[in-house]
Amino acid sequence: MQFHPTALTKPGRFLISEAVRGEGAHLIDNDGRRFTFDYHPAGELAPRDVVSRAIFRHLQRTCADPATAHVWLDMRPIPAEKIRHRFPNIIKVCQHWGVDVLSQPIPVAPAAHYWMGGIVTDLMNRTNIPGLYAVGETASTGVHGANRLASNSLLECIVFGAQMAHLQIQNVSRPSDLPGLPMREFCADVTEWQLQQEHLKVLRDKIPRLVWQSAGICREQSSLEAAITTIESWQQDYTSLPVSQFLLSLRPTEPARLDIPDVERQLRLWAETRNLLDIAFLILKSAAFRTESRGGHYRLDYPQLEPDWQVHTLVQQNNWWKSPVVL
């Protein structure tokens, strides 16, 4: 997972482009001091993982709750006309939240950005599942590196997207028709169903908070292991829900009917919560597995690069191992 150093600390976490700092904007603290030079000689122009850690550490040192605190991105050193010409969308979004970038700094903090790993593919975007292809930041092609540079994802989509035009489509055999299965039905009274939905909503709120605290910008073994134990407990709670037991017991093509209100939205909530639990588990376990620091992955207990870890972490089912080829 990559972390972007300057997200607007308002709902939606709009990303303030790194080009703003390239044009001359300063990162300052509450005292107006350009604190990033305390952490790297390039200051605001250091690599994005370095700037993210600088902000995170500075907030840890100066704020009671670094999870909700922020620093300031000051665009006033840039000429006003250049700001209007280069960054009209940033002006518009900040104005919506009552921030005039021409006269006042923007409250920012690091935020989770996009993947630097993903589904293993070959050079033709094929996965190990026949008929399934992956392109872009959902794929692990080897071109992201440990800290993907800005716009590399766009270039990757162009290159690997073009590869799809040369794909030789193979016939994927389909299973023979299965005998007709009887309709299965799930019913729950209103009170029971509301309790299940509240449980799912609580999980949806807790999962990102736990992962941010334990596998965010800075990581260490003890907090990772504690979070893994918590996620495993939540997975068991989730699986024990009556709706989970019903849906997970269905066989492919088996017809089913759920007698619940607003069924499409509720099924989406159920499925997304399951996905979040899976993703949280993968991130936490992979972060604990890699005992070094590299790019966006920073371990407080293993702060240095290790040559033996110049490989991908591969995961299949519940097995973790290093890729055999040095990358």
Q: Kindly list the catalytic residues.
A: 48
Q: Using CB atoms within 10 A of its CB, is residue 237 exposed (0-12), middle (13-18) or buried (19+)?
A: middle
> Which of the 8 DSSP states describes residue 45?
G
What phi, psi does 236 have (nearest 5°)? Answer: -65, -40
Nearest CA-CA partner of 110 in 154, 69, 153:
69
**Strand ranges, E, within the chain:** 3-8, 26-28, 71-74, 106-112, 119-120, 139-140, 184-187, 256-259, 313-316, 319-322
Instruction: Look at the alpha carbons of 138, 144, 145, 149 in this order and tell me if their dihedral is positive or negative.
Output: negative
The beta-carbon contacts of 120-128 under 8 Å, at least 24 apart in sequence, are 120/314, 123/163, 124/163, 124/166, 124/167, 125/160, 125/163, 125/164, 125/167
Instruction: Show the tokens assigned to 84.
Output: 């209007």
Nearest CA-CA partner of 116 in 102, 136, 90:
136
Residue pair 141/43 in contact by the 8 Å Cβ criterion = no
As a whole number of Å, the CA-based R_g of the chain is 23
Instruction: Show the tokens assigned to 15.
Output: 């990303």
Amino acid of residue 185 = E
Amino acid of residue 187 = C
Residue pair 307/291 in contact by the 8 Å Cβ criterion = no
Instruction: Show the tokens assigned to 263.
Output: 């069924």
